[in-house]
């Protein structure tokens, strides 16, 4: 499969190049040249999650990764359970938080790390994976790449904007992982990463790659679990899927799945008050803003980079985009209400991101009087956001061992101002 840049259709590269470049040299984002319809092939199959992942991902790496290697990568990357639970009739929850860092970003990061490891050989120059994080990306990437030979990971995260548990996950691994705390917002961190990729001198001296959701290798594995959800709840019908969104990589994975033939009645772009995409769907105007701080902090994104991919997938046709996606946004108060109501009515504990998604599903079903089976993509374990979840439900929640373990370790971080010069100096000399 070839991948093209959103800035230039004739700029084609293979999977390996798209994986290591992250951003295309012209500053665009990579998209697959064609998205094959796989629905007829997989609709009646059952089997494990890694087997499904193999079926869906193989066309994108065909010619560059052998079948047996991709099977190994999938077995290895997706080695945890992916349950679909019922909140109430026709309202389901796809739990993507059973990986090592208890957030859905494990799916993308683990696939990406193993793909990079596959292509690197002993003679390769050390690879620096540079990543900006609003919380969970960094920990998933750190965990996915920890102790992978030939790769060092440098994480930029916004000071004071990630939860204590997230921070301990980012800063406690050590070894080939370095965490840098930037005095700025997530958007500032993301901008620093973009600048690093555009810096000629830097790219000539070090071998730089990205693990942000700009990387197509992160999006592809994020289309698999949409099929998985459908298999559990959809039978032959179309389903409704609510995606708690920030940078819109998760939703883009869902749109790929739909293009691969998955029957979807509607995607719901559920956001917190960083609502530039719901606003865009309403008004047709995309107006990026500074992000604001909310309880669902992994979705505090004011200028989501995947929107340009989504627009490209729909050939910039707002009408067909609106046909497939509806947007809703919720305040922190509404998020807390969603958590406490779901707990009192259904005894289900949601984290703040998932709570935003569930509010979106309820809203859509009511507004459009739809009886189709609906699913919320649950992006994080509630224990990761214990500060807001416990008061909302009025009960203590148990902290899983894996999280406890992170919190007991020593934090190691480097503090830096929001300045390219400092980041560059570190990358060149550390």
Ligand X SMILES: *Cc1c(COP(=O)(O)O)cnc(C)c1O
Active-site residues, by number, are 105
Examine residue 244 and tell whether it contacts ligand X (CB under 6 A). Answer: yes
Q: What torsion, rounded to 10 degrees, do the Cα atoms 387, 392, 394, 397 define? A: -50
Q: Minimum distance from CB of 367 to ligand X (Å)?
A: 22
Residues 73-112 close enough to bind ligand X by CB under 6 A: 103, 105
Q: What is the rounded CA–CA span in Å between residue 174 and residue 68?
A: 32
The interface mask with ligand X, positions 249-268, x = CB under 6 A, is: xx------------------
CB nearer to ligand X: pick between 62 and 279: 279
Examine residue 220 and tell whether it contacts ligand X (CB under 6 A). Answer: no
Q: Minimum distance from CB of 103 to ligand X (Å)?
A: 5
Q: What is the rounded CA–CA span in Å between residue 291 and residue 332?
A: 14
Examine residue 270 and tell whether it contacts ligand X (CB under 6 A). Answer: no
Contact 157, 130 (CB under 8 A): no
Q: Minimum distance from CB of 330 to ligand X (Å)?
A: 13
Q: Minimum distance from CB of 136 to ligand X (Å)?
A: 3
Q: Minimum distance from CB of 308 to ligand X (Å)?
A: 14
Examine residue 136 and tell whether it contacts ligand X (CB under 6 A). Answer: yes
Stretch that binds ligand X, among 72-80, 188-196, 247-255, 397-405 (CB under 6 A): 247-255
| Helix H or strand E encompassing 138 | helix 136-145
Examine residue 274 and tell whether it contacts ligand X (CB under 6 A). Answer: no
Q: Give the Å distances, CA to CA, from 272 to 165, 305, 357, 359.
A: 21, 17, 9, 11
Tell me the CB-side half-sphere exposure of residue 34, using CA atoms within 13 A. 4
In 3D, which of 49, 18, 44 has the Cα closest to residue 32?
18
Interacting residue with ligand X among 245, 294, 338, 342 (CB under 6 A): 245
Q: What is the rounded CA–CA span in Å between residue 248 and residue 253?
A: 9
The interface mask with ligand X, positions 187-216, x = CB under 6 A, is: --------------------------x---
Q: What is the rounded CA–CA span in Å between residue 60 and residue 74?
A: 14
Stretch that binds ligand X, among 68-76, 200-208, 242-250, 259-267 (CB under 6 A): 242-250
Strand 177-183, strand 3-5: pairing: unpaired
Examine residue 151 and tell whether it contacts ligand X (CB under 6 A). Answer: no
Which residues does 49 contact at the CB level (< 8 Å), separation at least 6? 78, 82, 224, 225, 228
CB nearer to ligand X: pick between 22 and 249: 249
Examine residue 299 and tell whether it contacts ligand X (CB under 6 A). Answer: yes
Q: Minimum distance from CB of 384 to ligand X (Å)?
A: 8
Q: Given the structure tokens 């298999």, which residue do they identify?
A: 231
Stretch that binds ligand X, among 32-40, 244-252, 281-289, 322-330 (CB under 6 A): 244-252
Examine residue 246 and tell whether it contacts ligand X (CB under 6 A). Answer: yes
Residues 379-408 close enough to bind ligand X by CB under 6 A: 379-380
Interacting residue with ligand X among 113, 298, 359, 376 (CB under 6 A): 298
Interacting residue with ligand X among 161, 258, 353, 365 (CB under 6 A): 353
CB nearer to ligand X: pick between 298 and 376: 298
Q: What torsion, rounded to 10 degrees, do the Cα atoms 333, 348, 355, 243 define? A: -170
Q: Give the Å distances, CA to CA, from 159 to 15, 51, 166, 189, 193.
A: 34, 40, 12, 10, 16
Q: Minimum distance from CB of 173 to ligand X (Å)?
A: 18
Q: Given the structure tokens 């094959």, which residue do they identify?
A: 36
Q: Given the structure tokens 């204590």, which residue do they identify?
A: 164
End-to-end CA distance of the chain: 36
Stretch that binds ligand X, among 67-75, 77-85, 243-251, 358-366 (CB under 6 A): 243-251
- At residue 330, what are phi and psi to the nearest 5 degrees? -135, 145
Q: Minimum distance from CB of 378 to ligand X (Å)?
A: 9
Question: How many residues lie near ligand X (CB under 6 A)?
Answer: 17
CB nearer to ligand X: pick between 42 and 270: 270
Q: What is the rounded CA–CA span in Å between residue 1 and residue 56?
A: 13
**Chain positions contacting ligand X, by CB under 6 A:** 103, 105, 135-136, 213, 244-250, 298-299, 353, 379-380
């Amino acid at each position: 499969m070839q991948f093209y840049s959103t800035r230039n259709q004739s700029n084609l590269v293979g999977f390996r190049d798209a994986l290591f470049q992250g951003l295309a040299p012209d500053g665009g984002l990579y998209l697959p040249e064609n998205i094959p319809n796989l629905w007829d092939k997989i609709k009646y199959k059952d089997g494990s999650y890694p087997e499904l992942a193999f079926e869906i991902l193989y066309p994108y790496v065909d010619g560059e990764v052998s079948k047996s290697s991709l099977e190994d990568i999938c077995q290895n990357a997706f080695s945890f359970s992916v349950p679909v639970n019922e909140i109430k009739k026709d309202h389901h929850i796809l739990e993507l938080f059973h990986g090592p860092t208890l957030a859905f970003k494990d799916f993308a990061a683990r696939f990406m790390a193993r793909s990079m490891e596959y292509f690197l050989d002993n003679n390769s120059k050390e690879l620096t994976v540079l990543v900006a994080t609003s919380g969970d990306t960094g920990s998933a990437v750190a965990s996915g790449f920890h102790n992978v030979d030939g790769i060092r990971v440098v994480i930029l995260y916004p000071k004071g904007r990630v939860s204590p548990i997230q921070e301990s996950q980012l800063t406690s691994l050590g070894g080939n992982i370095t965490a840098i705390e930037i005095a700025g917002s997530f958007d500032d961190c993301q901008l620093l990463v973009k600048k690093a990729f555009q810096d000629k001198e830097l790219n000539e001296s070090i071998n730089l790659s990205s693990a942000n959701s700009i990387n197509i290798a992160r999006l592809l594995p994020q289309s698999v679990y949409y099929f998985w959800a459908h298999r559990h709840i959809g039978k032959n019908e179309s389903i409704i899927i609510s995606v708690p969104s920030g940078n819109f990589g998760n939703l883009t994975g869902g749109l790929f799945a739909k293009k691969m033939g998955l029957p979807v009645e509607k995607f719901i772009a559920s956001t917190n008050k960083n609502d530039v995409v719901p606003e865009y769907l309403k008004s047709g105007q995309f107006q990026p803003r500074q992000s604001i701080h909310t309880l669902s902090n992994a979705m505090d994104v004011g200028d989501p980079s995947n929107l340009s991919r989504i627009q490209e997938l729909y050939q910039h046709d707002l009408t067909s985009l609106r046909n497939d996606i509806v947007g809703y946004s919720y305040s922190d108060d509404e998020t807390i209400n969603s958590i406490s109501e779901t707990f009192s009515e259904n005894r289900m504990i949601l984290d703040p991101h998932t709570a935003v998604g569930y509010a979106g599903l309820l809203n859509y079903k009511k507004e459009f009087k739809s009886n189709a089976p609906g699913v919320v993509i649950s992006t994080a374990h509630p224990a990761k956001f214990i500060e807001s979840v416990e008061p909302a439900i009025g009960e203590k929640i148990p902290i899983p061992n894996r999280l406890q373990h992170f919190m007991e370790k020593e934090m190691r971080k480097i503090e830096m101002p929001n300045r390219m010069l400092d980041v560059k100096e570190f990358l060149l000399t550390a």
